[in-house]
Structure 1
């Protein structure tokens, strides 16, 4: 029998071949553009008006942004064809366009002949008009129906994926809706090159290129200061996001301390000019119910003040026993055009997570390092186990355009998070002969409160010099995070039958006085800058860097003693890259970034914080921007070298004796990781979207032994959506595949696997759509993550079904 890992590379190659062969297949969507539909577009700026028309008419728009900047559009409504609506919306704008199926391309109108200019024949020339997103909207994915984007904002300077000399994945709004990706954890589980790793107390993490994604590398609209573990304790609800931008490798210019894992930029939805009311109702396996409401539009007649409210509520049980969660969320945001060139934005989010029957350690395995054979519904939590979290975020932003080429933006944010846990813990390896070993070992009580403030100010623009056009960006950021942590652990030793878990084994206790009280204060600030220089027509040089200041102090609040401190001044992390345009569609690139990562959140078995990790990130590759920018493809190779990196101390698994609130870690002298990514995202044919990525990774320590073994060597993620042509155009079908090779947390092994999901959607009428998603179609039995023989092992989700009905008005 062949090893599953050896088959992943051919599968990735087959997907690439199929995608390439399908890209030439023409699909007729002209009927959709010609059919009359109900149109309702309010008077507003031209760019946003045409975006809304495209959304309502199911068109894809392409136009240079400068063609629509500063122009206004009248209100248009009625049952119209796309052509009729376009002509009414922008007649006389000086623009013309061609409709090719469902794609409309805009350009300047040619000079009319003399007779037309003088009006001798008494008629006006025919004007066929469409527009694309304006310059502020080029990166927005909402309403495009696409699995890719035309621009990125993760690096402050707006540029395309092809122009970025690093590996980047963008999970669009359409992907999140199609695949029911309702948390950030769901998004990362579908992202190229990411893998999940077990951590105690539910604080699971994601890894890229063999390294843990630290909390400081999670950004909101490009600003740091996330106040919690966003993939564990408080799963971020994605209903508020337009897209999630994922940069793999060191983000030396993007974040204050360059870490070679990657950067996650969560981009919030902003108000739309047109009035809209969108709803979604979902019901699925194990009593999983969810409701979303998204409404907004112009708040005054001139359209200069716009608002939006997004609310979601999820009430669900799980495939395993006892656990039940309720998660309400509300987000509100207002945009105001203070002047023609100045816009202010304010917003807030409130999210709550209540989980009964919460388990923090997962299942044990047999003591001989083999998996136990209990049902997938087995859960080791007590019914009274409880996890509560409340998050409140506010932010404000002012953006000003100095002229057509330069703009400045200042963003401030404040977040507060409170997390409490009351837990009964069950751990212990199972004897394969006696089936005994697990025990109820402790009662555990925690209370965390975190406050974070963030500030980012930057200026970006372009200029001409030495015969070329160049871009530049410079700015500064600051963050201040204060976190308090209180805990008490009460020991118990009550045997547990893992094959018949008693979820009421111990009566619910009252919360005692806290025996431990810690306070951490982390301050970061930096100044940064970068430039994209056109050295020659096909050659661009990107240079940049940051000076970082970092200050951390931990205090025992019961004794007043400083238990840990670290300070770093003016640490410089440089960055350089080069992009060479082979053609208008293909580019070669190479880049280098220095890395510097404080590791004060990780402790050794003796309770000491780890030293910072430093290193370098090298990457090179080729990128293509095909199908008139609707399809992005890339092949990248990378090599990372890092000293003093934090890795799990597997010799001291479970609760760390040095600090009882975490796993133990250790510094490794030098860690190396190398590999490559192969990725394609976007439209491969009309109506056919795809997002697929394959990663090959190798990590090792100074002795040559594999390191970060819980990261698979081979990882494939693929998703596709196809809108049927002709009389079946109301139907859309889709599928997603997640496949990976084996991984391990020595001495236990987790075999490779491939999980297939399917989707079918039907547009009932112009307002309503229904979709069915089936996860794990073949009901594969597998372990999603593993942690050790005593605890930390979690079954993957069995076959499941979700019905979603969406309405747009």
Structure 2
């Protein structure tokens, strides 16, 4: 099915290509049509594609205020992963992108369920083009294909103003690709280890002679085996977007995307960490507990409509409607228990799951400049309304609790049972509404103050797995920041945000935990060198959280939680951009400290306290067609449990290498080798089970651009 989806998209791209060419050269005369680009908040209608190799963005980032700010003007820590970085190291999924981002940890607890965290805590805030998905369902399955994005932005710290949810970890903003005024396209083919094959196409340009209607179409198809026994995965993506200049100042944008993921023999849960005598297990890297009949299919559909109106006084108003639907179906096999040295002592837990999550979100805001006291300031004011529904069905298989033979536990041979032992599920609705205002005040030539707040009102109604989901909460979430320019290159800043984070986690009685509350503070030093081509930042942060969900041990697969208080702090250093001509660099160092609990015990020991991320590429002088690079990721040791049943993952380093060559201006080849030292490591200790990361692998990509 996904291959047909991709083939259809490529076919449509080819059918569109004559019309794109016609838009450029349909006039039989020699007259040249020049399209004017209009700058609005560092974006343009019909903007040209950016084919530079920079590891820094040229336009404003998704600041936590919604105002048009550069990274230096934003009083928080901001990282950006550009399309060039994603292409250099074949970061085809968001998980790969975040694993390369300073200060972010990707906890791969299973093959198709992943958690992200920053500053020691889970990331639950996600945005598309600067607008949040406000209902915190926290259902993160599969992976998001990056072919549809021109960059990914990560704002660390609380982002309560633009999301209404002051989670102090980070906000991930996906910046979608948009149509370009010039006709251009690309086609790439990749083949790699474990029969990994990928085809990706991208076509963009004006659809009429005047250039007032523009379109872009992106499609990708991915099919691969795995280093894990029996595991296979197939993924298809289609993304299309149209822009139309209704007037010189009115822009209508319509977009649609669909991604489907089909996984065969995925992990649900993973490998035991200890034997019954308390000694750590040590399996082969390819070991899996999945049954050969297990599968996990996920579909995600998104559609959006934007209407933007610009005014002669510099203001703009924008209305956005977003629809999102996530569907999942799976037959899964969970292996639980503590094994003996002969691999007995484990038990079966087969289940069938069917779930559907829908969300409709409406955003309306206006922003622009105003003058007071002879100085120009900026303001944004907006409202947001969202409503969603969660429906889940769980059918439990016959034979739950059956003792397993070693081959049934690790060889995939457990027979598929009827899924009619019992049934459970949920159906509940969530409603979110908010209003916000923020302003950037230019108090003096070197001093700006940013202040604002968002009022949030959330409500849920329904039932989930036999317990009530009825809950409501409301809060005013303030935000304040100050930026002082020391010189044209250097700035210092400070910011403060309160935390308000509704939670979906449930306690032992099945009741939803109350929202997280608290506050975050941050100070930093930012610089833009070499006319903005190189960016650096130094940051210190402090966070206090109350009633944050913390998993109760040994309650999987239906994990139960309790609310705990946490105090954390740390500092970060980051650099990105062109260090020397031809040398791009992006990386950072993070140090984290989480205070002990009241009994003096270390908390969240499965989260690394020190992290280094580094991505770099270089075109040697005189050999500009050649491009070489490296990606390095290091984290210090983590552990789970206490002696004698204590499992430690020692500090480890992963090194990936790349080399590319431009045979012509249109055709290039890139070779990537990942985990070149063949490091053996556990992906995560986030939960009470874990599986090993991928060993050494290689891939080669062929790119054609036109």
TM-score for the superposition, normalised by structure 1? 0.79
User: 1:213 Cα deviation (Å)?
Assistant: 1.2
Match of 1:671 in 2: 566
1:378 paired residue among 281, 287, 291: 287
Aligned 8 A contact 2:109 2:683 in 1: no
Aligned 8 A contact 2:338 2:346 in 1: no
1:709 paired residue among 598, 605, 615: 605
Match of 2:211 in 1: 303
Match of 2:264 in 1: 356
Deviations 1:192-233 (A, max 9, x none): 11113365794321111121112xx11112233388988841
Query: Is the counterpart of residue 646 in structure 1 residue 545 in structure 2?
Result: no
Match of 2:667 in 1: 768
Q: Distance in 2 between matches of 1:274 and 1:577?
A: 39
Which stretch shows the higher mean deviation, 190-199 or 297-306?
190-199
Q: Distance in 2 between matches of 1:610 and 1:576?
A: 28
Structure 2: 5+ residue stretches without partners: 1-19, 25-30
Q: Distance in 2 between matches of 1:178 and 1:523?
A: 41
1:737 paired residue among 628, 632, 647: 632
User: 1:744 Cα deviation (Å)?
Assistant: 1.9
Deviations 1:228-277 (A, max 9, x none): 98884131111000111111000021102211111111111001111122
In the TM superposition, what are the counterparts of 1:371-410 in structure 2 within 5 Å?
371-403=280-312, 405-410=314-319
Closer, same or farther: CA 300–713 of 1 in aligned 2, 3 Å: same
Structure with greater strand share of residues? 2
Match of 1:579 in 2: 483
Match of 1:801 in 2: 698
Q: Distance in 2 between matches of 1:199 and 1:757?
A: 22
Structure 1: 5+ residue stretches without partners: 1-40, 46-73, 77-88, 94-129
RMSD: 2.7
Q: Distance in 1 between matches of 2:135 and 2:446?
A: 43
Which stretch shows the higher mean deviation, 798-807 or 488-497?
488-497
SS in 1 for 2:531: helix
In the TM superposition, what are the counterparts of 1:271-286 in structure 2 within 5 Å?
271-286=179-194
Match of 1:195 in 2: 105
SS in 2 for 1:187: helix
Q: Distance in 2 between matches of 1:199 and 1:573?
A: 32
Q: Distance in 2 between matches of 1:776 and 1:232?
A: 25
Aligned 8 A contact 1:385 1:422 in 2: yes
Q: Distance in 2 between matches of 1:306 and 1:723?
A: 34
Aligned 8 A contact 2:617 2:627 in 1: yes
Match of 2:9 in 1: none
Q: Distance in 2 between matches of 1:44 and 1:580?
A: 48
Which stretch shows the higher mean deviation, 547-556 or 496-505?
496-505
TM-score for the superposition, normalised by structure 2? 0.90
Match of 2:8 in 1: none
Aligned 8 A contact 2:428 2:469 in 1: no
User: 1:799 Cα deviation (Å)?
Assistant: 0.5
Closer, same or farther: CA 438–183 of 1 in aligned 2, 3 Å: farther
User: 1:612 Cα deviation (Å)?
Assistant: 1.2
Query: Is the counterpart of residue 603 in structure 1 residue 499 in structure 2?
Result: no
Closer, same or farther: CA 394–227 of 1 in aligned 2, 3 Å: farther
User: 1:373 Cα deviation (Å)?
Assistant: 2.5
Match of 1:245 in 2: 153
Query: Is the counterpart of residue 224 in structure 1 residue 119 in structure 2?
Result: no
Q: Distance in 2 between matches of 1:803 and 1:428?
A: 41
Which stretch shows the higher mean deviation, 294-303 or 510-519?
510-519
Which stretch shows the higher mean deviation, 490-499 or 633-642?
490-499
Deviations 1:460-499 (A, max 9, x none): 1112221322111111111112010110223141323279
Match of 2:78 in 1: 168
Query: Is the counterpart of residue 472 in structure 1 residue 472 in structure 2?
Result: no
Q: Distance in 2 between matches of 1:732 and 1:502?
A: 43
Match of 2:118 in 1: 208
Q: Distance in 2 between matches of 1:227 and 1:335?
A: 28
Aligned 8 A contact 1:142 1:173 in 2: no
Aligned 8 A contact 2:109 2:690 in 1: no
User: 1:584 Cα deviation (Å)?
Assistant: 0.6
Deviations 1:532-587 (A, max 9, x none): 11111101111011000110123158xxx761321123x10101010000001100
Query: Is the counterpart of residue 777 in structure 1 residue 686 in structure 2?
Result: no
Q: Distance in 2 between matches of 1:198 and 1:444?
A: 21
User: 1:131 Cα deviation (Å)?
Assistant: 12
Match of 1:111 in 2: none
Aligned 8 A contact 2:655 2:677 in 1: yes
Q: Distance in 1 between matches of 2:40 and 2:309?
A: 19
Q: Distance in 1 between matches of 2:363 and 2:584?
A: 35
Deviations 1:138-164 (A, max 9, x none): 999942311111321344222100000
Which stretch shows the higher mean deviation, 321-330 or 421-430?
421-430
Closer, same or farther: CA 500–592 of 1 in aligned 2, 3 Å: closer
Aligned 8 A contact 1:181 1:238 in 2: yes
Q: Distance in 1 between matches of 2:290 and 2:595?
A: 36
Deviations 1:119-140 (A, max 9, x none): xxxxxxxxxxx99999314999
Query: Is the counterpart of residue 337 in structure 1 residue 245 in structure 2?
Result: yes
Q: Distance in 1 between matches of 2:137 and 2:92?
A: 16
Query: Is the counterpart of residue 620 in structure 1 residue 620 in structure 2?
Result: no
Q: Distance in 2 between matches of 1:140 and 1:603?
A: 48
Query: Is the counterpart of residue 547 in structure 1 residue 455 in structure 2?
Result: yes
Closer, same or farther: CA 200–765 of 1 in aligned 2, 3 Å: closer
In the TM superposition, what are the counterparts of 1:15-30 in structure 2 within 5 Å?
none
Match of 1:417 in 2: 326
Deviations 1:563-615 (A, max 9, x none): 1321123x10101010000001100000000111111x111223222121100
Deviations 1:334-371 (A, max 9, x none): 00011101110001011111111111111112325544
Closer, same or farther: CA 261–276 of 1 in aligned 2, 3 Å: same
Which stretch shows the higher mean deviation, 358-367 or 792-801?
358-367
SS in 1 for 2:168: coil
Q: Distance in 2 between matches of 1:438 and 1:205?
A: 29
In the TM superposition, what are the counterparts of 1:743-762 in structure 2 within 5 Å?
743-747=638-642, 748-762=647-661
Match of 2:468 in 1: 563
Match of 1:9 in 2: none
Closer, same or farther: CA 213–708 of 1 in aligned 2, 3 Å: same
SS in 2 for 1:567: strand
Query: Is the counterpart of residue 461 in structure 1 residue 368 in structure 2?
Result: yes
Aligned 8 A contact 2:304 2:320 in 1: yes
Which has the greater radius of gyration? Answer: 1
Q: Distance in 1 between matches of 2:176 and 2:680?
A: 36
User: 1:510 Cα deviation (Å)?
Assistant: 4.6
SS in 2 for 1:486: strand
Closer, same or farther: CA 157–231 of 1 in aligned 2, 3 Å: same
Query: Is the counterpart of residue 682 in structure 1 residue 577 in structure 2?
Result: yes
SS in 1 for 2:678: coil
SS in 1 for 2:391: strand
Aligned 8 A contact 2:80 2:153 in 1: yes
Aligned length: 671
Deviations 1:156-194 (A, max 9, x none): 222100000000111111111111111111111111111
1:505 paired residue among 406, 414, 417: 414
Q: Distance in 1 between matches of 2:469 and 2:635?
A: 39
Q: Distance in 1 between matches of 2:141 and 2:53?
A: 31
SS in 2 for 1:260: coil
Closer, same or farther: CA 688–438 of 1 in aligned 2, 3 Å: farther
Q: Distance in 1 between matches of 2:661 and 2:443?
A: 51
Match of 2:89 in 1: 179
Match of 2:396 in 1: 489
